Structure 1
Amino acid sequence: MEMSMPLVWLAVAIVFSVIELATMGLVTIWFAAGALAALLLSMIGAPVLLQVAAFLVVSVAVLLVVRPLAAKYVNGKAKKTNIDAIIGRRLVVKKEIDNLKGTGKIDMDGTTWMAASTIDNIIIPEGTTVRVVKVSGAKLIVEREDLNL
């Protein structure tokens, strides 16, 4: 069994690498690194128990060190799109927002959207700055900026 361990660790590293390439989500790269460490130990004749321990220790170490860095530099630069890009935007009311009357319009990037307030019993006058908190179908749900100070 000792003679085949380098092949086992090589296969494990390849499998985890292929899974990582398929997902591109930093899911299994830690285990591929651990398998490479175990592969190196198996090639110099280290006991299987030491190989398994190295696999586990290196996998966890790489996970703990690399994942936070990757999350900070890779995911932090992801650009919001679609609905996510609208939430939080500050816009100006084009037509008075009155939930009870069902009125309200906002211009956003050259298009006019229906708008409603998060609070039913207030009227938001034309020209007021609001913040988008939710999108419901083709309607923006907003709240007044001056109420969130």
Structure 2
Amino acid sequence: MEGTPIYVWLGLIIVLTIIEAATVSLTTIWFAAGSLLAFFVALLGLPLGVQIAVFLVSSTLLIIFTRPIALKYLKVGRERTNVESLIGETGLVVTDIVPHSTGQVKVKGQIWTAVSKNGEPIRKDSEVIIDSIEGVKLIVVHKNP
């Protein structure tokens, strides 16, 4: 019965690592690390209360301080959609873009509704850069102002 917490922590490490490997969501890995620290505390023979406290505190601190950094550099769970990939691309105006109205821009073979970012008119056959996207409307700027 004395070594039971050691096996519980070891089991948690294994289960949480398998879940993280299957989901790659950077969620359970922090709890697996907390379990590892609690496992080491259990090996030292410290009471169960201390082991649980080490698990909870270390897991919480790891989530708070390292998860945002890991998400930033690993870019887990975030992929640019086809629409987002259009930002920064060059398009060709096929219908004049006039103030307070929409025009049309052809980008990668598709026609999109578009408005000028700064409200200035952009004539047909002008090249534009896609600045942003709002709903299904491109916000564009003239390529050669």
TM-score (structure 2 length as normaliser): 0.73
1:142 is matched with which residue? 138
Q: Give the aligned partner of residue 29 of structure 1.
A: 29
- How do residues 12-51 of structure 1 correspond to structure 2 at under 5 angstroms? 12-51=12-51
Q: Which runs of 4+ in 1 moved over 4 A?
A: 87-90
- Where 2:83 maps in the other structure, the secondary structure is helix
- Percentage of identical aligned residues: 32
Distance 1:114 1:12, change over 3 A: closer
- Corresponding position of 1:7: 7
Q: Which has the higher helix share?
A: 1
Give the superposition deviation at 1:52: 0.6
Cα offset, 1:71, TM superposition: 1.9
d(CA) in 2 for partners of 1:50, 1:19: 26
Match of 2:61 in 1: 61
**What is the deviation of 1:11?**
1.1
Q: Tell me how many residue pairs correspond in the alignment.
A: 138
* 1:115 equivalent in structure 2: 113
Q: Is the 8 A contact 1:9 1:36 kept in 2?
A: yes
CA contact (8 A) 1:130 1:142 kept: no
Mapping of residues 70-149 of structure 1, within 5 Å: 70-75=70-75, 80-87=80-87, 89-97=89-97, 104-109=103-108, 111-117=109-115, 124-126=122-124, 127=126, 129=128, 131=130, 132-134=132-134, 136=136, 141-145=137-141
Q: TM-score, normalised by structure 1?
A: 0.71
Pair 89,97 (structure 1): closer, same or farther in 2 beyond 3 Å = same
Which ranges in structure 1 are unaligned for 5 or more consecutive residues?
none
